[in-house]
Amino acid sequence: MIKTKKRGDLIIISGTTCAGKGTVIKKLLERHNDIVLSISYTSRAKRDYETNGVEYYFVTREEFERKIRDGELLEYNEYAGNYYGTPRKEVVEKLETGKDVVLEIEVNGAKMIKERYPETVLIFIMAPSMEEVKRRIKMRGAENNEQILARFKTAYNEINQVNNYNYVVVNDDVEEAVKKVESILVSEKLRVDRIEEIFVENQEEIIHEFLIEKEFVNEERDI
């Protein structure tokens, strides 16, 4: 009776640094074949544990700026001194195959996407406290003090932009956080504005049959 749009959902998952959004997304992808992650371009240096083409496509600033000029990016932003951007073609193609596409991007990029594509689902993942963020940044130990400070300041600014999002999930327990994101995505599929068409089959016939069953209508006289 209901025909829904076949296109997948565009989902943005942002969060303060060290909020654990990467882990939440990883678990989400492991459990749902119909959800895929968009791999961004970045000009930031690759960390030891990262692989080109897995976490990001690592490119030079020059190559990134060429992509901006050629309109290859759906959105981009400079964050803590490096460029980050979403590839346009891959995202559009994946959405058209009916897959839901997750963009793990920061608040300014999210805002840009929301303005252009208002039907995007925006989820913000928060760490339980800033003390916890500080502890996790130090534990990761991948950056110098200046970079850590820049990330910490950015985290404060980001929290002030939560009202641009549709949902906020506090990650004090990863399993619980994943469940919450899953229920958001299920609810989004049930939104009335996702319905393309509502049609009622054989309405007259069904009412007639129903009335006959209830002996409200004398079938012979009716014919």
- Give the interface with ligand 5GP as residue ranges (CB under 6 A): 14, 40, 44, 75-77, 79, 84-86, 104-106, 109
Question: 191-195, long-range: CB within 8 Å, 24+ apart, which pairs?
Answer: 193/119, 194/4, 194/5, 195/2, 195/3, 195/4, 195/5
**Of the two residues 14 and 171, which places its CB atom closer to ligand 5GP in the complex?**
14
**Of the two residues 79 and 167, which places its CB atom closer to ligand 5GP in the complex?**
79
Q: How far is the CB of 62 from ligand 5GP (least distance, A)?
A: 18
Q: How far is the CB of 195 from ligand 5GP (least distance, A)?
A: 31
* Strand ranges for the chain from DSSP E: 2-4, 10-15, 35-37, 40-42, 56-58, 73-79, 82-87, 100-103, 121-126, 167-170, 195-198
Contact of 52 with 58, CB cutoff 8 Å: yes
Q: How far is the CB of 108 from ligand 5GP (least distance, A)?
A: 6
**Of the two residues 40 and 171, which places its CB atom closer to ligand 5GP in the complex?**
40
Q: How far is the CB of 14 from ligand 5GP (least distance, A)?
A: 6
**Of the two residues 8 and 109, which places its CB atom closer to ligand 5GP in the complex?**
109
